Structure formats: structure tokens, C-alpha cells
Amino acid sequence: MTDHIGLITRALLATTLVLSASACSYLFGEEGMFPDTSEDYKQAQEHEPIQLPEGKDASAMEEIYPIPPVSDNLVMDGEFEVPRPTPLVAGAGEDVVRIQSLGDESWALIAIAPGQLWPQVRSFLAAAGIPVARVDAQAGLIDSDWLELEGQAMSSRFRFRIEQGVQRGSSELHVLQMDQAGDGITWPQESDNIEQEGEMLRAVAQFIANSADSAPVSMIADRAMSAEGKISLEEADAGYTFIQVGLPFTRAWAALAKALEDSRFEITDRDRSGGTYYVRYLGEEAEEEKGWFSRLFSGGDEDSLADREFLVTVAAAGEQAVTVRLAPAGTATGPLEKRDEQELLALIKGNIN
């Protein structure tokens, strides 16, 4: 009798399992309760954008992750030949935050996108207990309320301005200080107290340097301030290649000097009024110590451009833009191959900040 009951029990269990499997397939399909949906995006259809009634705010309907345009508007020279990649020394090894100065102007150059820098500045103000009076994410502006600073006869307020940096994925932070002596509304062109401006800039820069690795992202600020950069390689109708930089001449001239040195050029002379640097390219052998990785892929070939002299010229292309060209110095060294011209300009471009 016991064996008979056991047989019936096992038969019922088997039937239950079959019915359960059938029910699961019936209810959830052949792939079960957790189907693989990783390929579903390939079946998505493109639809026309939603049209809102006239007068309605459409900012919430914008793309969250727009595809940025390509910054370089040229194709590297060389028929059926893959161009060599830009050397890794361009822009490598730089600090996340650097204080830059030109004359009486100072700003922080930060190696994160504006959308990451914006919440970091907001966090600094909150941590420092600095009240905020006005915020404009579209313009990249944060105005503080009036502050009573220790040892100061009058209150001060500060404006933090975030701009897109020269290089892609970089930002600039400018601080403007105002005394309460004026009307308290109109911001001055330059800080009323340069010392207070500098102290505030160093304080916020240090805060960002300590917390840049965990920086969140502000989508609004990121959309308003493109992370594409202010620099690109262009090709003129005449056939030569040049660098387009969205900086005023004075600042571009100063930035180019450091970029040339970082790109293994020696500056032998300069003509500020003519916008010309006289340089000699030192080549890859200028590096004091070449690692085993570099030696492994160098193949022992000498840099054919080493010790050649060039003219690097900066010309204004408006109030906020310049062009940078490179040409051989004199005729004794012969013309510069187009591919070599493009590679040297790409190297310089990667080091302009």
C-alpha cells in the first residue's frame, strides 16, 4: 500500500512540474520570467519630435545626452594610409586643478567638464556656509550674498563664473569680488579687492582638487556650457592646416609659449608685435628618460623632424579667437610635408590651455 501511495505521489509531482513549466511558458513566453532585452533597442523606431503648443516651455523635452559635433574639420593627409596617433605626451600628466595668471587676471583651469564643476562649486559654497543670492546655470554664474569677512571694514560678495575650457572636457573658474561701497547691484569689471579674489579662488580650487574624483554632473550646466572645447584643427582653402583657438590674442600668445615647450619645441626667439615664435623642434629624443614601452614601439627610427627650425605665428581672428600656423624657417630645410605639418600642429593643439 505504501509503495502504491509513493508511486501516485511521484506521478503527481511530475505532473505538477510539467504543468508549472507549461504555465510559465504560457504566461511569460518561451524565454521565461526574465527575458533578455539587451537587443531590444535595435527594434526601436524613430519618431518625429513631440510638438508642444505655442508658448509652452520645451526645455524638459531636450536631449539628455546629445551627440557633440566633431571638433577637427580636416582629414589627416596620406592616401590610403592610416595616420599616426597624436603622441600621448599632449596634455598628459597635468594636475586636475591649476591656478593660471595673466597680468592682473587669475583663474582656475580644471580638468573636468563644466557639468561636473558646477555642482562642485555649489558644494563648496554649502560647506563653507556662504549664502547664495542668485544662480544662473545657463550662463554659468553663481552670485553669493553679502559676507562679513574677518578684519574687513565692509562686507563683500563674490561671483563665480564657470566657462568651457580650451580643451575638450576642461573648465575655467573665474571669481569676481565686489565691495559694498558701491550701489551693491552692478558688478565691477575687475574685483574691488584683488587679494580677497585670490583667496577665494585658491579656497574653491583646493576644495575641487580634493573632491574632483567624486564629482557629480549637472545636466543643465553641461548642456548650457558645451564640453567640446574652444580649439580645433582646420584646413584653409589654400591647402594649409592651422589651429583655431577661441581665446583673445594676449592670452593665446601666453598659452602658446607653454604649449610649445610642452610639445618638445625650443623657443629661440619671439616677436610679440608680429605674433611670431622662432622655434626648433627637439624631437622625441628630447625626453630625458624613455621608458621600455616607448623603446619597444619606436623601432629605433630617428625623428626626421628633429632639429628643424620653424616659425609659429599667431594671428587674431576676431576679439575672442586666433589662428596658429606653423611653417619652416627659411628655405634651406626644404618644404614641410603636409602630414608632418598636421602631426606637429596636432601635438601643439593638445597642449594649449
CATH code for the domain of 107: 3.30.530.50
251 and 335 assigned to the same domain: yes
Instruction: Note the pLDDT of residue 330.
Output: 73
Domain contains 72: no
Number of domains the chain is built from: 2
Domain contains 130: yes
Outline where DSSP puts E strands in the chain: 97-102, 105-110, 132-136, 141-144, 156-164, 171-179, 231-235, 241-245, 265-271, 276-281, 309-316, 322-328
Domain contains 40: no
248 and 344 assigned to the same domain: yes
211 and 182 assigned to the same domain: yes
220 and 235 assigned to the same domain: no
pLDDT (tens, 9 = 90+) of the chain, 353 residues, equals 555 555 555 555 555 545 454 544 544 455 555 567 777 777 777 777 778 888 777 766 666 555 655 555 565 555 545 555 554 444 443 468 999 998 889 999 998 888 889 999 999 999 999 999 999 988 899 999 999 988 888 999 999 999 999 988 889 999 999 998 877 789 999 999 999 999 999 999 999 988 866 656 555 555 555 556 789 999 988 888 999 999 999 999 999 999 999 999 999 999 999 999 999 999 876 555 445 445 444 444 556 788 899 999 999 998 899 999 999 987 656 778 889 999 999 999 999 98
220 and 245 assigned to the same domain: no
322 and 269 assigned to the same domain: yes
Instruction: Note the pLDDT of residue 10.
Output: 58
What does the buried/exposed string (b/e) look like for 69-102 if buried means 16 or more CB atoms within 10 Å of the residue's CB? eebbeeebbeeeeeeeeeeebbbeeeebbeeeee
120 and 177 assigned to the same domain: yes
152 and 261 assigned to the same domain: no
242 and 189 assigned to the same domain: no
220 and 246 assigned to the same domain: no
Last residue of a domain, one of 184, 204, 224: 224
Last residue of a domain, one of 180, 195, 224: 224
- Domain with 184, as residue range(s), is 103-224
Domain contains 43: no
Residue 19 to residue 11: CA distance in whole angstroms: 12
Secondary structure letter of residue 282 according to DSSP:
-
180 and 272 assigned to the same domain: no
Domain contains 29: no
**In this structure, what CATH number is given to the domain that contains residue 244?**
3.30.310.170
The sheet that has 141-144: what strands, in order across it? 97-102, 105-110, 171-179, 156-164, 141-144, 132-136
Instruction: Note the pLDDT of residue 292.
Output: 46
Last residue of a domain, one of 224, 251, 268: 224
206 and 276 assigned to the same domain: no
Instruction: Note the pLDDT of residue 88.
Output: 45
Instruction: Note the pLDDT of residue 251.
Output: 92
Instruction: Note the pLDDT of residue 89.
Output: 43
Which single residue is written with the C-alpha cell 629624443? 285
